[in-house]
Amino acid sequence: MELPAVNEKIRHGTPAFYVNKKLFARLKEDGENLVLYTENRTFWMKRNPIIYFITPHYENYKYMLVSLKLVDPQELKDLLTEAWKYRAPKTLTKQTK
């Protein structure tokens, strides 16, 4: 999967992915969950709270945790693309449609 203008860095000792210096996804320290930016966290958590959830740390942020063992690979790809679109500059998202 390729998304334009993505930079990978290490954050909290794990790979993290940025667009325009904005974090949109990061592997959690446990290696089993992904921290993912979303504007639709409530929807996903209601849809399947085993796969999509938060810890108290994320209550005030627009991030959710995604279980990498349980999430459907295509759904994860779609969620990563959506997270990238939320964080990327509008000029960049218009170019990639």
Number of structural domains found in the chain: 1
The structure's pTM equals 0.91
Helix (H, G, I), strand (E, B) or coil at 78: helix
> Residue 35's domain spans which residues?
6-92
pLDDT per residue of the chain (97 residues) written in tens, 0 to 9: 589 999 999 999 999 999 999 999 999 999 999 999 999 999 999 999 999 999 999 999 999 999 999 999 999 999 999 999 999 998 888 776 6
The CATH number assigned to the domain holding 79 equals 3.90.1150.30
Residues 64-87 have pLDDT tens digits of: 999 999 999 999 999 999 999 999
Q: List residues bridging with 34 in a β-sheet.
A: 27, 66
